[in-house]
Structure formats: C-alpha cells, structure tokens
C-alpha cells in the first residue's frame, strides 16, 4: 500500500520523545485555554489526552512527529474531503505561487478570484447568484448574517439548540451548541437571537414547525445546519427543511443554510439543504472548498445580495486576504476534482455502504448509526464515552472526533477517497476499542 491508502502503524508511544518535546513547546506558547481543555479531558476520562503533532499528511494518512502513521476519519475537520495534499490541489497552488501570491483584494482583484466567484455562482441553486469570498466558515456566516440585516431591515435571528456556526462574535451569538461558549461574552453579543428546539428525526414536520416562535416581527433570518455536525450528527425529520423554507417565505425572513460541513458533496449532493427539498436564500460554504487551504464563501440570490449595492457607500465588508490567489487556485482545483471524478455520487454510495457495515457489525455500546453520504455519527450509550473512545482509537491508529453536547457521539467525516481497507480496519479497531472500554 502507498502512503495515503495505508493502514495504521503505531509503533511509538503517543506521544514519544519527539512528540513530547513539541508539546512542551506548544504549552509554553499557545493560549492556555487549549492546554487546560486537554487537562480537563484527562480528568474526565482518566486517559492521557496529549495531542499528536502532525508532520505530514497525504490521502487519508497522517504521520506524527514520532513516526507513527494514522488513518484520518475526520479529514481534518472536513477540510480534506478529497484527501490530504491532493496532487491536483498541490499543483495548482505551486503554479499560482510562481505567478501571484497576493492581489489588492476587492480594489484590484486577481483573475483566479474572479474565476472562483463565477464557479461558485454557477454551482448555486438559483439562476442568478452572487458570492462573497472569505477565509473561514465563521467569516461566511458573518457575511450571511450581515446580508440578512441589509436585505430585510430586521436584526433578529432564529437559530437552533445544538447548532454550531463558529466562535467569532456574529456566529457565536447564533450558536446553540453550548451556553458556556457564549456566557463570558454575552454582553458583547447580538442580543436579538432566539433558539428553537432541534426536532428529533421522527417528529412530525407540522409539530416541529409549531415549536418555532410565533412572533417573527423582528426576525430577518433563520440559520440552520442541514445536519448538525458538532451537535452530534443530528438529522432533522424528512421535510423539515422544506417546511422551514416555506415558513421563511411566508414570514419575510431569509433562510441561511450553513453548508460548511455538509456541502460540496460531503452528504451526496452539492448542497444538502437543496437535496432535502429546501431552497435557501443564502448558502455558507467552507472547509472542503479550499482542499486544505482556508477559503470560504457566502453565496446568495442576486435579489438578496443586491442589498450590498449602494453605490454611495464604501465597501463595508471586506478583508485583506478574502479571495487571495493561492486559496482561489486551490478551490478551483478542488471543485475540478469533485466534479470531474464523480466524488459526489461516490460519497452517497460509499457512505451508505460504510453505514451498513457499521450497523451490521454488532458493536457493543453503539445505539445508532446516523449517516448522510460520508458524514456519519455513532450514537454511544454513555455520556463522555466519545472522549474515551476517541483516545482509544487514536492509540489504535485512527483519528475520529467526539461530538454532541454530552460527548456521546463519534463523528466520522472521512475523505471520499479513503480506501476500503482503511474503512474495514477502522471497524475492526472500533470493535476492539468498544470491547475494552
């Protein structure tokens, strides 16, 4: 097997001497909150939660500073949808670096930025779309929230319990994942936000919609993840997103679909919300878009995006590196790979097959396997069990993420290019880790 498709090889302690040296340097330089989080997890689980230090990644393999090899079932928080260091993305970045590293943003843009904007608008589910580029998913959400205020004149936002849209101020205000994230900054956050309960999968659509607020007089936007990712890979009931879009039209609010994790083929369609029957007004995209580089976008209907078009104003939403040439080149190459190699169809087929294997594997302690394309959630039976299991799997050479407010879900978002042997090896390792936990 070549690196990228290889099975794990964990031959050194996690971490060993080289890794420990890096971690000591990390602890002396990084924000204390991150080191404290690892210590808290160790207290919760009784297991070591020191990180591995990445030094190389290709395909679905990651190498750490101690020479251990892992299989990444997180695809780098979803950013490496087509695998780490895809050769076509690397070639595009290398070629662009030889030509132009930086342009003058929105004042004098680069050619590749314009090409990327055109490409994203062509992929949008409306006949006439416009887009705004940025760096991270939270930037795209910020742009969408600003657009909604300009287009509707209403500052209120309806969001959902368990949602996660980012931790900068605008997105943090509408993230219902955990109150502890918002509490220290509450006085500085947008106050006109209300949170509705996230409906269980078997909830009747009418009942789920009736649970929303009755007064929409100040609500200009509803923001929703088509599937809640960090919240525990929670799918809404069929038809809920379609009903939500209808209600937004009736009440004069814009529907913002946060497709940062679910979009670009991850769930077996370009846009999960559209595939689920909803037509949003704004779509936020990021993570996989840059093929590993930081690129994101807010795409919207032309009618909505015209709210930014006051010719008497300066550009009131921009950034020095928004739409930078390197990121734009990487994104164009990534879209070429997704579209040209049939990876969206493959994500739907391979994800279903993977979920079927997991469901029939008689895994002790796994109550449910949730799946849409190559986005899966393993519902565990005990609170905090995902923290223990994630570490046990790391020691067996597999990278996964804990999810859910109770840390009782294992989130899987592997690259669509992951090999069958790597998936089969994970199922075996998972069975062993569950049996030992």
Residues in the chain: 437
Does a structural domain hold residue 108? Answer: yes
The pLDDT, as a whole number, for residue 35 is 72
Does a structural domain hold residue 317? Answer: yes
List all residues 6 or more positions away from 237 whose beta carbon is below 8 Å from its beta carbon: 199, 200, 201, 202, 203, 204, 205, 208
Q: Which two tokens stand for residue 12?
A: 């050194």
Percentages of the chain per state (helix, strand, coil), in multiples of 5:
40, 20, 40
The pLDDT, as a whole number, for residue 213 is 95
Structural domain range at position 113: 88-340
Does a structural domain hold residue 67? Answer: no
Does a structural domain hold residue 25? Answer: no
Does a structural domain hold residue 17? Answer: no
Q: Please give the Cα distance from 382 to 169 (Å, whole number).
A: 32
Does a structural domain hold residue 68? Answer: no
Domain count, the chain: 1
Angstrom CA distances, 208 to 143, 156, 202, 211, 252, stand at: 28, 20, 10, 5, 19
E strand residue ranges, 264-340: 282-285, 296-301
Contact 76, 84 (CB under 8 A): yes
Which position has the token pair 């404290």? Answer: 36
CATH code, domain carrying 130:
3.40.640.10
Q: Please give the Cα distance from 167 to 180 (Å, whole number).
A: 12
DSSP-H helix ranges across 126-256? 137-152, 169-173, 179-182, 205-210, 240-251
- Along the 437 residues of the chain, how does pLDDT read in single tens digits? 799 999 999 999 999 999 999 999 999 999 887 777 677 667 667 677 789 999 999 999 999 999 999 999 999 999 999 999 999 999 999 999 999 999 998 899 999 999 999 999 999 999 999 999 999 999 999 999 999 999 999 999 999 999 999 999 999 999 999 999 999 999 999 999 999 999 999 999 999 999 999 999 999 999 999 999 999 999 999 999 999 999 999 999 999 999 999 999 999 999 999 999 999 999 999 999 999 999 999 999 999 999 998 766 677 899 999 999 999 999 999 999 999 999 999 999 999 999 999 999 989 999 999 999 999 999 999 999 999 999 999 999 999 999 999 999 999 999 999 999 999 999 999 999 999 98
E strand residue ranges, 87-240: 129-134, 156-160, 193-196, 219-224
Tally the C-alpha atoms within 13 A of residue 245's C-alpha that lie toward its C-beta.
Answer: 18
The pLDDT, as a whole number, for residue 277 is 95
Does a structural domain hold residue 432? Answer: no
Task: Strand 282-285: give its sheet, edge to edge.
Answer: 129-134, 296-301, 282-285, 254-258, 219-224, 156-160, 193-196
Closest CA to 197 of 174, 164, 163: 163
Q: Please give the Cα distance from 130 to 128 (Å, whole number).
A: 7
Does a structural domain hold residue 406? Answer: no
The pLDDT, as a whole number, for residue 44 is 67
């Amino acid at each position: 097997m070549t690196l990228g498709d290889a099975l794990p090889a964990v031959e050194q302690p996690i971490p060993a001497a080289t890794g420990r040296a890096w971690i000591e340097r990390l602890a002396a330089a990084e924000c204390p909150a991150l080191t404290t989080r690892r210590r808290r997890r160790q207290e919760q689980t009784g297991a070591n939660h020191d990180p591995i230090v990445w030094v190389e990644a290709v395909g679905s393999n990651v190498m750490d500073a101690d020479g251990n090899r892992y299989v990444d079932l997180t695809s780098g928080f979803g950013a490496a949808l087509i695998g780490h260091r895809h050769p076509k993305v690397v070639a595009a970045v290398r070629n662009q670096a030889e030509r132009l590293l930086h342009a003058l943003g929105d004042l004098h843009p680069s050619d590749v930025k314009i090409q990327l904007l055109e490409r994203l608008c062509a992929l949008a589910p409306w006949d006439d779309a416009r887009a705004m580029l940025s760096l991270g998913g939270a930037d795209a959400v910020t742009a969408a929230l600003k657009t909604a205020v300009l287009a509707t004149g209403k500052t209120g936002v309806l969001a959902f319990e368990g949602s996660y849209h980012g931790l900068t101020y605008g997105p943090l205000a509408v993230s219902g994942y955990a109150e502890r994230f918002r509490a220290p900054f509450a006085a500085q956050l947008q106050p006109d936000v209300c949170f509705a309960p996230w409906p269980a999968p078997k909830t009747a659509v009418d009942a789920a919609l009736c649970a929303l607020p009755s007064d929409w007089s100040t609500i200009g936007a509803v923001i929703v993840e088509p599937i809640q990712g960090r919240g525990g890979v929670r799918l809404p009931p069929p038809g809920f997103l379609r009903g939500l879009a209808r209600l937004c039209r009736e009440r004069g609010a814009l529907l913002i679909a946060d497709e940062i994790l679910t979009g670009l083929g991850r769930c077996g369609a370009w846009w999960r919300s559209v595939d689920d029957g909803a037509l949003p007004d704004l779509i936020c995209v990021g993570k996989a878009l840059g093929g590993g580089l930081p690129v994101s976008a807010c795409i919207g209907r032309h009618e909505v995006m015209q709210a930014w078009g006051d010719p008497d104003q300066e550009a009131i939403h921009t950034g020095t590196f928004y739409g930078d040439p390197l990121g734009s080149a990487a994104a164009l190459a990534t879209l070429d790979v997704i579209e040209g190699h049939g990876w969206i169809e493959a994500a739907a087929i391979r994800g279903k097959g993977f979920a079927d294997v997991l469901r029939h594997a008689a895994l002790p302690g796994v109550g449910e396997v949730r799946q849409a394309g190559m986005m899966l959630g393993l519902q565990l039976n005990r609170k905090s069990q995902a923290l223990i299991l994630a570490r046990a799997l790391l020691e067996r050479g597999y990278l996964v993420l804990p999810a859910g407010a109770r840390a009782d879900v294992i989130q899987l978002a592997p690259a669509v290019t992951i090999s069958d042997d790597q998936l089969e090896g994970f199922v075996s390792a998972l069975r062993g880790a569950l049996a030992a936990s």
